[in-house]
Amino acid sequence: MTDFTEANRRYFDQMATTYKDQFAQGQKMLSEQTAKRRSWISDRWTDTEAGKGQEIKMLEYACGPGVVSMTLAPFLTQVVGIDVSEKMAEEFNKNANTVNMASKMTGYKADLLSEPAPLEFAGSGFNNFDLITVSLALHHFEHPDTALQKLAKRLKIGGACFIIDLVPHAGHSGHGHGHGHGHGHGHEQMIQQEFGDAAHTVKAHGFSKDEMQKLFQDAGLSVNFEYELLSEPLVFTKAGKTVEKTVFIARAQLA
């Protein structure tokens, strides 16, 4: 595990048990917005013509407490949640139980982005997914490009990947390799300003449509790319202040 991933593990481990309640408003919004776009994400679900009677399995990587998994589990046959934080994986399993989905949903602690990936996650149970999702975590990955390439290898051909993340606001290059830092600030300083005590766990302000398209394309996710802004902002309180962030959902399929 790299130092950066270890910093994420430590940060999210210590907030795992309170995360769902602390971000309750945002979790509700994510669940509603995901549910609303189910047929936009994929046409294969246990209750659709294209998916009826088939095994349909999803990986939620960097799953945290599993809000996207809990929303979609009723329409899937199996959901694997993986998070670098052991305590988040425990929360995922606890929540699966609470919503009576424990027979379908299992959370594990692992870093699938490390080199090499842990051997125990090489088997068929952790490959050939119909769906892979990453929600509000791509900006926490050290290398979002190689992360998507590694995750895409675990998809079936034709399988869909969907990403929920932040829209970088005007003047901020999403991932720090581009233009427009302005005011003499470096990328790190801008991240510090925007993310405060979580800055050391963050690599990007978010991802524009063009950036997402390139990330997907470079991972072989070149079929039916779409990027939409969610109609409601992500609202939460940080250091006593209310913060609102614009969020997107993007999807594409493995060629």
Ligand X SMILES: C[S@@+](CC[C@H](N)C(=O)[O-])C[C@H]1O[C@@H](n2cnc3c(N)ncnc32)[C@H](O)[C@@H]1O
Which residues contribute to the site for ligand X (CB under 6 A)? Answer: 5, 8, 12, 30, 62-64, 67, 83-85, 88, 111, 113, 135-137, 140-141
Report the residue number, 51 or 206, with the smaller CB distance to ligand X: 206
- Give the burial class of 128: count Cβ atoms within 10 A of its Cβ; 0-12 exposed, 13-18 middle, 19 or more buried: middle
Report the residue number, 51 or 191, with the smaller CB distance to ligand X: 191
Q: How far is the CB of 23 from ligand X (least distance, A)?
A: 7
Report the residue number, 42 or 85, with the smaller CB distance to ligand X: 85
Q: How far is the CB of 52 from ligand X (least distance, A)?
A: 28
User: In this structure, which amino acid lies at residue 183?
Assistant: H
Nearest position to ligand X, beta carbon: 64
Q: How far is the CB of 39 from ligand X (least distance, A)?
A: 21
Report the residue number, 51 or 67, with the smaller CB distance to ligand X: 67
Q: How far is the CB of 4 from ligand X (least distance, A)?
A: 8
